[in-house]
Amino acid sequence: MILVAEDSDEDFAAFTRIMQNLGCVYPIHRVCDGDEALDYLYRTGIYTDPSASPRPSVILLDLNMPGTDGRDVIQQVKQDEDLKSIPIVVLTTSSNSRDVNICYRYGINSYLIKPIGLQALKQTIQDFFRYWLELNILPHTETT
């Protein structure tokens, strides 16, 4: 399962279309901000049922979201013994070297720049899909 933390409806719609066209068989669950991402991961708020909130195989995370931002999500998840093995891939418009350095210091697994233009976005998502979901061996995640 892929957990996508993305506040842009347009970006999420493009992501899901591209993933469907690639034949992605992984379920995709979207959260719209960092607070909802943490609720999902910690099974709080509306996500208290473990069968409705399975552990993700990978988290695709935008940095600049309302409320708790992506940097705070990374820091909290990577300090948690039960969650820190879940790979986090940042997909953001920020190319700021400070953001890149902070994210890696907090323990992310990859940092991707969200390109401008549909064709460039399609290529970035194809590369994400190919590496993270076809070539890479992901850690085993619990199902309940």
Q: Is the pLDDT of residue 142 over 80?
A: no
| CATH of residue 64 | 3.40.50.2300
Is the distance from CB of 78 to CB of 84 less than 8 angstroms?
yes
Closest-CA residue to 19 (of 137, 138, 130): 130
Is 55 a member of any domain?
A: yes
How far out from the chain centre does Cα 127 lie?
15
Residue 143 identity (one-letter amino acid)? T
pLDDT of residue 144: 45
Q: Which residue has the tokens 């309940």?
A: 144
Is 140 a member of any domain?
A: no
Closest-CA residue to 31 (of 54, 55, 8): 8
- pLDDT tens, residue by residue, 51-102: 889 999 999 999 999 899 999 999 999 999 999 999 999 999 999 999 999 9
List the domain range (segments joined by +) for residue 80: 2-135
Is 142 a member of any domain?
A: no
- pLDDT tens, residue by residue, 10-65: 999 999 999 999 999 999 999 999 999 999 999 999 999 988 899 999 999 999 99
Q: How many domains does the chain have?
A: 1
Element (H, E) at 113: strand 110-113
What's the rounded Cα separation, in Å, for the pair 83 and 80? 5
Is 19 a member of any domain?
A: yes
